[in-house]
Amino acid sequence: MQFTFKYGKKDIKIKLSPENFIGKIEPQEMEGLSDPVQAVREALENPIGSPRLDEIAALKKPGKVVIIVNDLTRVTPYQHMLPPLLAELAEAGVKDGQITFVVATGNHRGHSEQENRELYTEEIAGRYVFINHDCTKDLVSMGRLTDGNELMVNKHVAEADMVITTGLINPHQIAGFSGGRKSIMPGVVSKELITLNHSRMTAPGAKLGNYQDNPVHHMMMEVAGRVGVDFILNAVTNSNREIVKVVAGELEQAWIAGVDVSRKMNMVKLAEQADVVIASAGGYPKDINVYQAQKALTNAAEAVKSGGTVILVAQCPEGFGDSVFEEWTR
């Protein structure tokens, strides 16, 4: 028996004897939409829990609009998502020069201009201003959170008249699901807040697929609420990175609508645990470094017996990806 795993930008094949194989765990795959751009348009025309984007812009008359986008560690179909979003803003009278894109790097490295062109298309990257968030500088205080910690936010986001977030909704190892509020926290806040939020990963509710009683999620929601998100545009994608659902509108309501679809597709029941589990991080960019690739271990740990073995297939061309994480693991 031969199995193919994603490994960086290539595939790797592994052979197994039938007597050693008990099963393969895959998502309950949904087909990609035949016209993803039209799906984005329809989501923008029918926002969840919110007025239309052009109505919000007409009411607020923003001088400065910030659109927050995912970084290269999250493969997001921006070639389908951004053109309809920008067209909607243009129809509302927002000029190109009023729009700034902020890359939600969190504590990851910033992008090069070439990476921006590859991720957000040549046309958009060349037409608009793109700024990499830096969690150590160019931050402003927006007061204190309920736990007393200071809320330090990217100055371009904090000073914007209108904030739009974009992203993907997938199961997340400690936040329950990605997307929505994660564009703000950890996307565009200080290193100290990111560290504090991640430190809550050991709490009982901080786990894959759960957000209701999850302290990591609750902190993210508080931060996003304090910053003020006017509109979100999020997508759910299948394992082929095709859009299966687009949601737009109010931060929490639209996000939850996307979560419901992602949960149905990605959460499966396990028939039995194995002595050995071979897991792929998903290829590039999910295995760009150890910090990203290790997220696959959360799922693999559920599938392996106590005392069993997990083999993680991950290329990690950029090494560990985080110096503190590297020191901790060593």
Residue at 25: amino acid letter: I
| Per-residue model confidence as pLDDT tens digits over 56-106 | 999 999 999 999 999 988 889 999 999 999 999 999 999 999 999 999 998
Q: What angle do CA 169, 52, 175 make, to 5 degrees?
A: 20
321 pLDDT band, cuts 50/70/90, is confident
| Integer angstrom CA distances of residue 222 from 83, 151, 215, 216, 252 | 30, 10, 10, 10, 11
- For 3-33, the pLDDT digits (tens) are 999 999 999 999 999 999 998 888 888 999 9
Residue among 152, 150, 155 at smallest CA distance from 138: 155
pLDDT at 322 over 80: no
Please report the pLDDT score of residue 14 as a whole number: 94
Decide: 139 and 112 in contact? Cβ < 8 Å: no
Residue spans per domain, the chain: 36-266, 272-329
One of 111, 133, 156, 172 is an active-site residue; which one?
172
Least confident interval from 136-150, 177-191, 275-289: 275-289
User: Which 8-state DSSP code applies to residue 207?
Assistant: S
Which CATH fold topology does 36-266 show?
A: Rossmann fold (3.40.50)
Task: Spell out the alpha helix ranges (H) of 92-168.
Answer: 113-120, 122-127, 155-158
Non-local CB neighbours of 211 within 8 Å, separated by 6+ positions: 175, 176, 177, 217, 259
Residue 172 designated active-site = yes
The whole-number pLDDT of residue 67 equals 99
* pLDDT score recorded for residue 113: 94
**pLDDT tops 80 at residue 285:** yes
Distance CA 319, CA 109 (A): 13
Decide if pLDDT at 296 tops 80.
yes
Residues recorded for the chain:
330
Radius of gyration of the chain (CA): 20
Structure tokens at 238: 């299948």
CB atoms within 10 A of CB 74: 18
Q: What is the pLDDT of residue 329?
A: 77
Q: Is 108 a catalytic residue?
A: yes
Residue 56 has a pLDDT of 96
Q: How far apart are CA 290 and CA 159, in angstroms?
A: 35
The span from the CA of 1 to the CA of 18, in Å, is 6
d(CA 56, CA 40) in angstroms, rounded, equals: 18
- pLDDT of 330 above 80: no
3-state secondary structure of 37: helix
Q: Which pLDDT score is estimated for 273? A: 93
User: How far is it, in rounded angstroms, from Cα 98 to Cα 65?
Assistant: 6
Is residue 51 classed exposed, middle or buried when 0-12, 13-18 and 19+ CB atoms within 10 A define those classes?
Answer: middle
CA distance 101 to 89: 13
The pLDDT score that the predictor gives to residue 323 is 78
| Phi, psi (degrees; rounded to nearest 5) at 169 | -115, 110
- Look at residue 282 in the predicted model and tell me its pLDDT: 87
Each residue's pLDDT tens digit, 197-221:
999 988 999 998 999 999 999 999 9
Q: What is the pLDDT of residue 96?
A: 97
Query: Residue 159: pLDDT above 80?
Result: yes
Q: How confident is the model at residue 310 (pLDDT cuts 50, 70, 90)?
A: very high
Report the range out of 24-28, 251-255, 276-280, 288-292 with the highest average pLDDT: 251-255
Residue 256: pLDDT over 90: yes
Catalytic residue among 80, 108, 111, 133: 108
Stretch among 145-159, 247-261, 277-291 having the lowest mean pLDDT:
277-291
